Amino acid sequence: MKKFISAAILMFASFIGVNGQTVGYVNTDKILDKIPEYVSAKSILENQKAQFDAKLEAEYKKIELMYKSYQSQRASMSEAQRVARENDIIRREKEVKDLQANFFGQDGQMAKKSKELIDPIKSRVQKAINDVAEESRVAVVLDLAVVQGVIYNNPSADLTSKVLRKLGIK
């Protein structure tokens, strides 16, 4: 069995060597930051996030005030009044958490807006990367913006500038 695995590894290694397949890399952060539509979309998303954050913060402050008011008046309330106020506070907290999920959840407004604004740009970049990889006869393209632990990268394998040219960006 060991001989079979060793032979398979040797055959695979020689296949790669014969075909001259190479590895290239890009930095999608650099590419995206040079695309004006992406910069604009990112700014729109950051502004929307700030608005949502401000609204949520204001709502949480209202809940905090409700709770402080409840704490200060609690001693003079009947059991029914205490339960009603506690339920109001709990209901309000749930409403704000639902609002937060509506803003920032997986299917929330931010995710939808990001998909609407960013996904077409990323698709265009991916197509350019694919085209450059095929033209350059590169078998594997790594993204330095995503890959961690890269301790050396040969500039001759950098395809970023070719992708930018393919996208029409100087």
Residue 20 reports pLDDT greater than 90: no
Residue 73 reports pLDDT greater than 60: yes
77/84 Cα distance (integer angstroms): 10
User: What phi and psi, each to the nearest 5 degrees, are found at residue 118?
Assistant: -90, -40
151/61 Cα distance (integer angstroms): 47
Single out the residue of 89, 83, 87 nearest to residue 62, CA to CA: 89
Q: Which SS3 state, helix, strand or coil, does residue 150 take? A: coil
pLDDT at residue number 149 = 76
* Confidence band of 156 (pLDDT split at 50, 70, 90): confident
* Confidence band of 16 (pLDDT split at 50, 70, 90): very low
pLDDT at residue number 127 = 96
41 to each of 6, 49, 113, 125, 138, how far by Cα in Å?
51, 12, 9, 15, 31
* pLDDT tens digits, 101-119: 999 999 999 999 999 999 9
28/142 Cα distance (integer angstroms): 10
- Can you tell me the mean pLDDT for 132-150? 88
Sign (positive or negative) of CA dihedral 109, 112, 115, 116: negative
Percent of the chain beyond pLDDT 90?
71
Q: Are the beta carbons of 155 and 129 closer than 8 angstroms? A: no
134/113 Cα distance (integer angstroms): 32
CA dihedral of residues 158, 160, 163, 169 (deg, nearest 10): -140
pLDDT at residue number 3 = 47
Cα 145 to its chain centre, rounded Å, is 12
86/149 Cα distance (integer angstroms): 51
Residue 15 reports pLDDT greater than 80: no
Residue 1 reports pLDDT greater than 90: no
pLDDT at residue number 79 = 94
